[in-house]
Structure 1
């Protein structure tokens, strides 16, 4: 008799039917699956995390619930982070990252500071954070300063065992290379793409990372770039500030032209898309449902067969008009270990002009 999770075999080995193993074997595209967020507030909280980490950790439950509520209400995301390795509580203040993903990548910024108490974050200027006004936000986070890019790797096995089995070893290896810019994080969405990570401040999400691609990413991010090896549907989940269809459009063009510069693109819905399709291009569900759901690219929704059109514009003046269709693939897979299989979807992307 064993209490081992059904998605593991032995110590640190994914079972053949683990969600991320099945999705990787299928080669399902990761385009358009970044969890939606215009900004991020990420608080250091060592110790164990529950499935709903903001409520189930050593963070006072009422504070976690309130910070999660404030972030969600303003269009952002609250998460917990901890250093890779032993998760013991430490005395003293806690690190905090506050970042704005930007309406375009050039507008992104990241602050790093410390708080004496997690409750201090309730006093952040949430409206300014949603609008990307860095000076106003910094005024409510005393002592904070601008930070270089930071990589958050999902390791919360209470949400999905794939994140622990595949994410924790990756986080440990990455932290060995760059201990100040790598954190374990409580939830990035997209367990089926483990190991997953989010690069702040841009909210650029990645799927199926390896030690080699993560090392490349840590180096390239210092110059605001993505490694060539992480372009394309196997790894690029998209940028969090965009709706799923727009994420897919931008990632497609980035791969098409081999653009590694993070601030290169601005992506917008074609103004008459609503007239063509009967729905707004940015109304597709995000991959970031706060409880269980992760719908874009996964479970069936009312968007089956929906069509969106986008302009992807480069800083050098080039532009591409792109058509995005969300299609069912005719197979079922679990989006998370232990869940029932659901219909699998992908975004099909093509140039129209």
Structure 2
């Protein structure tokens, strides 16, 4: 095993440091996405990476727009540690990942290398949330199904310093243990929870990762699971295909039951609460039913930064309360 990577500490007033010991659960903080498209783009990334990198900005702009219009999310990725790559070293072929099917309970992951980055625009974006990956395979023949999970770790320094300071060492060390399964990626949201990561194909979005947790996340995803240790409120941000209140309800029930299987729970909104919250029903495949209220709370007493680029604001989190059980 290689020597542990030195882990620098974020600044005392950084967003991740302010939130490091927070009692609030991270549930419900995953950026919603019914599918993911991750395209390799080595070298530096700007604040708006899809149009501020060495990728043709027209391709990046169109990719971001088409994904968003269809309910998905586009990311750029690069091999761990290659953010200083020189322009002349850019590869002739780029790795592409397409993850879909999560809303149907049957997540799938495609991967392959493409020569022209513009080929990503051939994807049938309106089909990617569905259970059948065939349209994507037909549209981009370089892609193939894979059973090997992938972890994308946010390291976009121009978006937030904490993602780079904490994310890069984590990605490098985890990548040395699971080669070809860990990539650096652009902004995924939730800087305050750095190091953050998204696991494909499940879309499980994770907070405050360690190397051990990153490896667990990958191994669990191969079984269609989140990972038992990752069910903890400080680590499990949510399954991205669900809206935030449903992510919080799903996370609360998973933690209560110790249920890591992504497909074991079905979650739906069934009403509203008198205090402005959402009433959510979560049903386990074995028939157990949980009804919870989910309310967004604001901690006025302990304002914190949500990003290193903004000032402190009342801390928001989701409060989940069981109803009648």
Structure 2 residue corresponding to 1:309, chosen from 279, 285, 299? 279
| 1:1-353 alignment, distance < 5 Å | 12-87=8-83, 88=85, 89-104=89-104, 106-147=105-146, 148-270=148-270, 273=271, 306-330=276-300, 331-353=302-324
Deviation of residue 132 (structure 1)? 4.2
**TM-score under structure 1 normalisation?**
0.85
Distance 1:223 1:15 in 2: 38
Q: Structure 2: give runs of 5+ residues left out of the alignment.
A: 1-6
Q: Structure 1: give runs of 5+ residues left out of the alignment.
A: 1-10, 278-304
Q: Specify the alignment match of 2:4 in structure 1.
A: none
Per-residue Cα deviation, 1:75-111 (whole angstroms, up to 9, x for no partner): 110110011023324332111001115224x221111
Deviation of residue 216 (structure 1)? 2.1
Distance 1:25 1:13 in 2: 15
Distance 2:237 2:247 in 1: 8
Per-residue Cα deviation, 1:44-86 (whole angstroms, up to 9, x for no partner): 0001000101001110011100111111111110110011023
Q: SS at the partner of 1:103?
A: helix
> Contact 1:232/1:252 (CA < 8 Å) preserved in 2?
no
**TM-score under structure 2 normalisation?**
0.92
Per-residue Cα deviation, 1:211-236 (whole angstroms, up to 9, x for no partner): 22222222222222233221121111
Number of residue pairs matched? 313
> Contact 1:37/1:101 (CA < 8 Å) preserved in 2?
no
> Contact 2:97/2:112 (CA < 8 Å) preserved in 1?
yes
Distance 1:171 1:228 in 2: 21
Deviation of residue 324 (structure 1)? 0.9
Q: CA RMSD in A?
A: 1.7
Distance 1:33 1:306 in 2: 18
Deviation of residue 260 (structure 1)? 1.5
